[in-house]
Amino acid sequence: MGYVKKRKPRIFNFIILFLGIGLVISGITFGVKAIISGGYPKEMMQVADTNKDFGKHKKQRSKDDFNYYVLHYPNTKVKELDQWIETEMKNTVNAYGEAALKEDETRTQIKQDYQSKKINDQYVAVQLDTYKDNVLISKDARVFDINANSFVDGSIFKPLAQRQLTQWVRNNINQPLTQDLIRKLVVNSNTEALYMDETNLYFLFENEAIAYQFGDNPNYFNETFANINPSNDDIPSTYLDYGYEATDKMVAFTFDDGPHGDHAFEIMDIFEKYNGQVTFFILGHRIPTRESVVKAVLDQGHQIASHSYDHPNFENLSIDEIKHQLDTTEALVKDATGYDEPLFVRPPYGAISSSQLQQMTIPFINWDVDTQDWQLTNPKSICEIALRDIQDGSIVLMHELYSESVESLDCIVSELDKQGYQFVTVKELFKAKGVEAKPGAIYYYVD
The per-residue pLDDT for range 13-39, each reduced to its tens digit, is 554 555 555 544 444 443 434 344 568
Distance CA 174, CA 168 (A): 12
**What is the pairing mode between strands 56-63 and 67-75?**
antiparallel
| Element at 204 (helix H, strand E) | strand 200-205
Which pLDDT belongs to residue 65?
85
Specify burial of residue 28 (Cβ count, 10 A radius: 0-12, 13-18, 19+).
Answer: exposed
Q: In degrees, to the nearest 5, what angle opens at C-alpha 189 toward C-alphas 187 and 193?
A: 60
Backbone angles phi, psi at 73, to 5 degrees: -160, 160
Number of residues assigned to the chain: 447
Residue 37 is predicted with a pLDDT of 53
pLDDT given at position 261: 86
- Backbone region of residue 213 per phi and psi (left: phi > 0; alpha: psi in -120 to 50; beta: other values): beta
Per-residue confidence (pLDDT) for residue 76, from 0 to 100: 97
Q: Return the pLDDT at 179.
A: 87
Q: How high is the pLDDT of residue 246?
A: 73
Query: 3-state DSSP call for residue 25?
Result: helix
Nearest alpha carbon to residue 393 among 280, 292, 248: 248
Contact of 167 with 157, CB cutoff 8 Å: no
Sheet with 200-205, strands from edge to edge, namely 194-196, 200-205, 208-213
| Three-state secondary structure call for residue 255 | strand
Tell me whether strands 200-205 and 194-196 are parallel, antiparallel or unpaired. Answer: antiparallel
C-alpha torsion angle, residues 258, 260, 264, 265 (rounded to 10): 160
Q: Phi and psi (nearest 5°) for 153?
A: -140, -175
pLDDT at 248: 83
Ranges under pLDDT 70 in the chain: 1-38, 97-104
Amino acid letter, 352: I
Q: What pLDDT, on a 0 to 100 scale, did the predictor assign at position 98?
A: 65
Helices and strands counted in the chain (H then E): 11, 17
- For 367, other C-beta atoms within 10 Å of its C-beta total 19
How many whole angstroms separate alpha carbon 408 and alpha carbon 412? 6
Any idea what DSSP says for residue 63?
E
